Amino acid sequence: MKSITEMLKPRFWSTDDEVLGTNRWFQNYRRVWAIAVALLSAVALIPLLFVSSMDYRATRNAIMSENLLRTTRTTSNTRRTVSYFLEERRAALALITRTVPEAELRNPNHLREILGGLKAAFGGYTDLGLVDENGRQVTYVGPYALQGKDYSDQPWFRETMDLGSYVSSVFLGYRDLPHFVLAVRFTLDDKPAILRATIDISRFQELLTDLTLSGDGDAFIVNTEGILQTPSRLHGDVLEIMNLPVPERASRTQSDVVRSSEGEPLITGYAYVEGTPFIVMIVKRQAMLMESVNKASERILWITGLSGVVILLVILGVATFMVGRIYDADQTRIKAMRDMEHANRMASIGRLAAGVAHEINNPLAIINEKAGLLRDLFTFRDEYKGDDRLVGMVDSIINSVERCGTITKRLLGFARQVDTYMAPLNLPGVVREVLSFVQKEAEYRSIDVQVILEDEIPSVVSDRGKVQQIFLNLVTNAFHAMEDGGSLDITIRRTNDDMVELMFSDDGCGIAPENMERIFEPFFSTRKQTSGTGLGLSITYGLVNELGGEMDVASELGTGTTFIIRLPIGSEAN
């Protein structure tokens, strides 16, 4: 039972390496097959991998660009919201300084009414205070005891006096609670003064909590020093240093990929709020945003892998088929070359045999003539006429000359068949002619050869030389397979389909089952260690096919082998 590996192995794969290296007619088919597979795979798979890689990169870049653009847009919109929130409240303070009389600003009751109006209209205000040019809070309304507080040493006081308006970072201050300050400078009694308001950051945070962000997004505000102004889910609480680098100042909203302290890539959008120390930041986890890319890459990988497997299978099949056809063509060419060499060799042998037979016939004729003359002399002379021993010796010479003449005639008859032509043949007679060449070997080795005829055998229109060569090869092959004292039976009979069947049955060593399928292959022989060339049965098989016949074999190891030849009778048969 053959294994799957043996069944899938190409027929040229087991070509003998020794034959490949020494025979000029062979080439290394395995190398040709490997080169074909490698080249076809490179031509087919490299573009596939290139296109798949380009498609993956294009998809990844497109989704990455879309995420960056979306983050930039969200950050820009959030910056506008924060900027509007601060500008609205700063403008409200500026409006109060321009419209409310100075006396009312100094009056705590009136200032309390103004604070209530601001809370009702805008929200987010905690307290309100009037600070003179020396930094002392002359009027204060709010939940804290800050009346008369001196702010002359505070940075926000100096900033407001210099710039005219000020928005502070979030800080704790005297309240020990996170807040930030809005302040505007104006003229009070022809002297500079400041209207100062405190903004609760809880209202500030509400601007960010309503955002819907993908990729586990986080929105928060930091100042230019990297201190969180609003709490962050992932990067710290208020007034803590965020664990990301502070982005460089830019006039427009920016987005980029940065890495956290743990090395995780993050898509970050940021925008500086003009006129404030605030930076609006939106941070998203790149891994979550790129999940669609990962799914797409898995699909691309599966498609590429499946396509690669299909391409490889097709390449293997095509390469195996094409190299197999080359192998078959080479086998046909090799067989033709071998047949041509054999035909040339046989023609040379035939010409040599004809020349030898012709040269032998001349001295045989002289010997025969002289022996006949001696016999006549012995007959006419009385002193020799009665000597039976001398007469017997002369008769023995004449008989030997006749026997030699018969042998030379057979050689001449065999040599003339080197040139191919079709003619009616008496197959039993051809078999006996062939057996006459091996008669001495059969006698010497005590091999019993019998020719068995079943009914009347018609003549067969065929080539005499090729038929003789077929029979001689089979008989020689049978002799090689038998020990001394064996037997060979040659049975000739007519079948029912206008064919004559010849069976050459010997009782030799037989053929092993694993060799049965290869015995007709060129150069295959079980006797390579002795005298076998592996061409006899291959040539015989080819000759039978050329004559339009069929050839089969049946064998059992240790019992014997039967070769069956079926030849067509032909249109000129009797």
Pick the range with the lowest mean pLDDT from 87-91, 147-151, 159-163, 355-359: 355-359
Residue type at position 213: L
* The model scores a pTM over 0.85: no
**pLDDT confidence of residue 502:** 92
Q: Alpha-carbon distance 124 to 239, whole Å?
A: 19
- How far is it, in rounded angstroms, from Cα 333 to Cα 311? 32
Residue ranges, comma separated, of all CATH 3.30.565.10 domains in the chain are: 420-574
pLDDT in tens, 471-497: 888 998 889 888 888 899 999 998 877
- Distance (Å, whole) CA 131 – CA 194: 5
- Is the pLDDT at 442 greater than 70, yes or no? yes
CATH superfamily of 29-289: PAS domain (3.30.450.20)
The confidence score (pLDDT) of residue 539 equals: 78
Q: Which of 45-59, 142-156, 214-228, 418-432 has the lowest mean pLDDT?
A: 418-432
20 has pLDDT over 50: no
User: How many H-runs (helices) and E-runs (strands) does the chain carry?
Assistant: 15, 16
What is the SS3 assignment for 469-480?
HHHHHHHHHHHH
What is the location of CATH 3.30.450.20 in the chain?
29-289
pLDDT-derived band of residue 219, with 50, 70 and 90 as boundaries?
A: very high
CA dihedral sign, ordered 298, 301, 304, 306: negative
- The pLDDT, as a whole number, for residue 17 is 47
Q: How far apart are CA 551 and CA 477, in angstroms?
A: 15
For residue range 52-78, what is the model confidence (pLDDT) as tens digits?
888 888 888 888 898 899 999 999 999
Which are the contacts of 389, defined by CB distance < 8 A and separation ≥ 6? none
Candidates 3.30.565.10, 3.40.50.970, 1.10.10.10, 1.10.1060.10; correct CATH number of 420-574? Answer: 3.30.565.10
Return the HEC string of 227-291. Answer: EECCCECCCECCCCECCCCCCCCCCCCEEEEEECCCCCEEEEEEEECCCCCEEEEEEEEHHHHCH
Q: How far apart are CA 133 and CA 112, in angstroms?
A: 22
Measured CA to CA, the distance from residue 327 to residue 9 in angstroms comes to 14
